Structure 1
Amino acid sequence: MKTLSLGLATICLGLATLASADTTVPLFFTADQGVGAAVGTVVLSESKYGVVLTPDLKGLPPGIHGFHLHQNPSCDNKGMAAGGHFDPQKTEKHLGAYSDSGHLGDLPALTVNADGTAKLPVLAPRIKHISDLTGHALMIHLGGDNYADQPEKLGGGGPRLVCGVIGQ
């Protein structure tokens, strides 16, 4: 499994080098008002295969976390002001990053290491340009993501843990 993760990370990092202009998004724990403590950044890079999201995060609970692009450029109210997953085609389906039939804001799950750090890049193949992300919120949920609405709605990610606004 470590070899597969290392290989995927190497591929994603290689894809990031093909990018034109990177955008760095600061991420913070969610709070009742505004944002909480900083947890790091996610760098957005364009590649011919889609947008690569490269996290440099710390202080998170270990494990797999739901990772999504949300509609509104706000992290207020414990992240709820961000609205739902970005879904410009109004599919109303949570099917994951690789299905053309679901939310465009569904990203591959984020992996957090045992020490609370996340550095493994993910590729969003359906999102071709960083400008497609601008004016939205990047969200990390407390729980994982099964890329379905069953048995729990929106993949079962639960509370919104970390949030950052892209391009503002």
Structure 2
Amino acid sequence: MKKTALVLMLMAAGAACADTVVQVNLVDEKGVGTPVGSVTISESRYGLVFTPALQGLPPGLHGFHVHQNPSCDSAEKDGKRVPALGAGGHYDPKASNVHGTPWGEGHLGDLPPLYVDAAGNATTPVLAPRLTAADVAGRSLMVHAGGDNHADHPAPLGGGGARVACGVIR
């Protein structure tokens, strides 16, 4: 099924609210940097659909998460500036303290991985079946370096790397 057909099918399934467009920027230890596009968040009866229109990212799979705070600012940790640390951790309102699948019992902010093609573009939508628009308003959307195995083993938080791009969900 083509991704456009998937998006239309999910949106036709019962959009309950207006779409939210999240502007996404590269982040580094200095703070928020160059814009790389946007992610449109649409509510369907199956959960939230995150449709990226991003460019200029490293190719491959990337960890993709909703984070607790509405900030993409860098902050200091252990004497070093950390990109987008102002976003806090993965959105986890039930304090599960478990990184898992988007449909599982872990963090509510765990999303399917973001796929970036060889040209650096991300356009494939992902579905978060446990999220609603109310859950994500006032939070941030994060792209991590490297993939996400949706577990805390062998490395915590899916084994993903640094925070590379971020946007505040208004």
| Structure 1 length-normalised TM | 0.90
Return the alpha-carbon distance in structure 1 between the equivalents of residues 123 and 91 of structure 2. 24
- Give how far 1:32 is off: 2.9
- 1:114 correspondence with 2:118: yes
Q: How many residues align?
A: 160
Q: Which residue in the other structure is 2:134 paired with?
A: 131
Q: Which residue in the other structure is 2:146 paired with?
A: 143
- 1:76 correspondence with 2:73: yes
- 1:63 correspondence with 2:86: no
Structure 2: unaligned runs, 5 residues or longer: 75-82
Return the alpha-carbon distance in structure 1 between the equivalents of residues 23 and 89 of structure 2. 20
Contact 1:73 1:165 in 2 (8 A): yes
Q: Deviations over 1:76-130 (max 9, x none)?
A: 111111111000000000012010x200000011000110000000000001x21
- 1:104 correspondence with 2:108: yes
Q: Which residue in the other structure is 1:3 paired with?
A: none
What's the C-alpha RMSD, in Å, of the aligned pairs? 1.3
Return the alpha-carbon distance in structure 2 between the equivalents of residues 29 and 119 of structure 1. 17
- 1:48 correspondence with 2:51: no
- Give how far 1:16 is off: 2.3
Q: Which residue in the other structure is 2:78 paired with?
A: none
1:11-50 → structure 2 map (5 Å cutoff): 11-17=6-12, 18-19=14-15, 20-50=17-47
- Give how far 1:33 is off: 4.2
Q: Which residue in the other structure is 1:157 paired with?
A: 160
Instruction: Indicate the structure with greater strand content.
Output: 2
Structure 1: unaligned runs, 5 residues or longer: 1-5
Counterpart pick for 1:10 among 5, 8, 15: 5
Return the alpha-carbon distance in structure 2 between the equivalents of residues 145 and 32 of structure 1. 22
Structure 1 residue runs of 4 or more that deviate by more than 6 Å after TM superposition = none
3-state DSSP of counterpart to 2:71: coil
3-state DSSP of counterpart to 2:10: helix
| Structure 2 length-normalised TM | 0.89
- 1:89 correspondence with 2:86: no
